[in-house]
C-alpha cells in the first residue's frame, strides 16, 4: 500500500539555523499538508498546498516558514531561522483530491529538536 514518507526521522539543529523537512506524498495525491505536534500537545495544522500554491495556513505559519514542491515528488517545509519553540514532531499528509470524502494520509513524522 502506498505511504507518505518523511526524511529525516530526527533532526537536531542549533537555534537560528535553517532546516528543511522533506516529504514524499503518495504519488497520485494532489493536496498536501504540514502539521506539527509539540510534545504533550495536540496536533496542529500548519499549511495546506494545492496546485503549487498555499491554499490555507494557520497563524503559526509565519514568515519563518515556507513550503515548496520543487519537483514532481517532494514536498518540503523550510524553517528559515529556527527557534527553541519550533521543537516538535512535524507530520506531512496528502490526500488524493479535494473531495469531501477523501482521507488525509499521514507520514511517520520528523522530530525536530532545536538546541
Partner 1 sequence: AQSVSQHNHHVILSEAASLELGCNYSYGGTVNLFWYVQYPGQHLQLLLKYFSGDPLVKGIKGFEAEFIKSKFSFNLRKPSVQWSDTAEYFCAVNAFTGGGNKLTFGTGTQLKVEL
Is 75 a residue that touches partner 1 (CB under 8 A)?
Answer: no
Written as nine digits, the cell of 101 is 470524502
Give the residue with the Cβ less far from partner 1, 14 or 40: 40
Written as nine digits, the cell of 31 is 493536496
**What are the residues facing 114 on neighbouring strands?**
13
Is 113 a residue that touches partner 1 (CB under 8 A)?
Answer: no
Can you tell me which of 55, 73, 81, 113 binds partner 1, judged by CB under 8 A? 55
H/E/C letters for each residue in 32-80?
A: EEEEEECCCCCEEEEEEEECCEEEEECCCCCCCEEEECCCCCCEEEEEC
- Using the rule CB under 8 A, give the single segment among 10-18, 21-29, 55-63, 72-80 that binds partner 1: 55-63
Smallest gap from Cβ 106 to partner 1, in A, equals: 4
Closest CA to 80 of 55, 96, 63: 63
Give the residue with the Cβ less far from partner 1, 49 or 75: 49
- Kindly compute the dihedral angle of the four CA atoms of residues 111, 17, 57, 69, in this order, to the nearest 10 degrees: -80
Is 41 a residue that touches partner 1 (CB under 8 A)?
Answer: yes
Q: Which residues bind partner 1 (CB under 8 A)?
A: 4, 31, 33, 35, 41-45, 47-50, 55-56, 58, 91, 93, 95, 98, 100-101, 103-109
Amino acid at each position: 500500500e502506498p505511504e507518505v514518507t518523511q526524511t529525516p526521522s530526527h533532526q537536531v539543529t542549533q537555534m537560528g539555523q535553517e532546516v528543511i523537512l522533506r516529504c514524499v506524498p503518495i504519488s497520485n495525491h494532489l493536496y498536501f499538508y504540514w502539521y506539527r505536534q509539540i510534545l504533550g500537545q495536540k496536533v496542529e495544522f500548519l499549511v495546506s498546498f494545492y496546485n503549487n500554491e498555499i491554499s490555507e495556513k494557520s497563524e503559526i505559519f509565519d514568515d519563518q516558514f515556507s513550503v515548496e514542491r520543487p519537483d514532481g515528488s517532494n514536498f518540503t517545509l523550510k524553517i528559515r531561522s529556527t527557534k527553541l519553540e519550533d521543537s516538535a514532531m512535524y507530520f506531512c499528509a496528502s490526500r488524493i483530491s479535494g473531495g469531501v470524502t477523501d482521507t488525509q494520509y499521514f507520514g511517520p513524522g520528523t522530530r525536530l529538536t532545536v538546541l
